[in-house]
Amino acid sequence: MTRTARDAGYAVPAVNVFDEISMRAVLAAAERTASPLIVQISTKTVRTAGCAFVTDLFAALARDVTVPVALHLDHCPDRAVLTEVIASGWSSVLFDASDRDLDDAVRETHEVTAEAHAAGVDVESEIENILGVEDGVGSDESQHAYSVEQLAEIAESTGSDLLAPQLGTSHGLYKAHPQLLPERAAELAALTDRPIVLHGGTGLSEADFRSFIDAGVSKVNISTAVKHAYMQASLAHLEVARAKDRWDPPRLIADVSAAVTDVIAEHVAWFGADGKAAGTGSAR
């Protein structure tokens, strides 16, 4: 999916979800826009809901979806969780080795990639940390940073399928406009044909996204936008429900779902992925 996107000049939206409502909503956005889409699950959600439940939920909801969709484990430094997810046949995993020193990061990434590939699962590699804490994983301080040459060489040696480099973005909401580095993505794209991933997408403008996609990024992660749409729609609904003393859970779910679907459909258009489902290989 992401290689096709890179060749065609768009990016696949990779959207973090945390329950059935949010998963249904982002899949609805993909169908509405005829876009390929990657459903992402945090390590925290896997630990809370259980790998088996998430696996079965995705299988049930994606069964009748008419666009290509994939199931991806986001930021995971825990080898035991990675092993469980790989054994469950998810599409891909992000092994987050950004808390390890370089030698350990390379060695363990090679081990995870070998384990995943044996099961037909792809690996996204992160060895230099992207700023911000997301669902309990990450750091607000820069710990490890390497040259684009090192990143390309390590990806080749470990067999990683996708790369998640530092590109000036961070997880969470921005308090000021970040110093974005699309030129770094372009330098890396010139050294490797592996898909490049942009983390920390929430809060960037359409022009910001286009600069990264033009530079070679073909997977863009969105998480905070889903959480905010979900919670703000919930709050708005509950305020009206309290004022009218009218309590209707199905209506609450419908309002939340609509808000999440709308915000992801907007991002799909920004990424140029709308209408790109036809001809995109399914990861299922």
Question: Which residues carry out catalysis?
Answer: 74
> What is the reported pLDDT for 284?
46
Helix/strand/coil for 183: helix
> What is the reported pLDDT for 78?
97
Strand stretches in 130-169, DSSP E: 132-134, 137-139, 162-163
> What is the reported pLDDT for 144?
72
> What is the reported pLDDT for 136?
57
Contacts with 165 (C-beta within 8 Å, 6 or more apart), sequence order: 128, 148, 151, 184, 185, 188, 196
- Amino acid letter, 239: E
Q: How far apart are CA 136 and CA 88, in angstroms?
A: 23
Split the chain (284 residues) into runs of 10 and give each run's mean pLDDT: 97 98 98 98 97 98 97 97 98 96 97 98 92 53 82 97 92 64 97 96 91 98 96 98 98 98 98 89 49
Phi then psi for residue 88, to 5 deg, are -85, -5
Phi then psi for residue 168, to 5 deg, are 90, -5
Phi-psi region of 245 (alpha: psi -120 to 50; beta: other; left: phi over 0): left
- Whether residue 249 contacts residue 207, with contact meaning beta carbons closer than 8 Å, is answered with no
Helices 206-215 and 182-189 pack at an angle, to 10 degrees, of: 20
- Whether residue 129 contacts residue 122, with contact meaning beta carbons closer than 8 Å, is answered with no
Give the number of other CB atoms < 10 A from CB of residue 242: 10
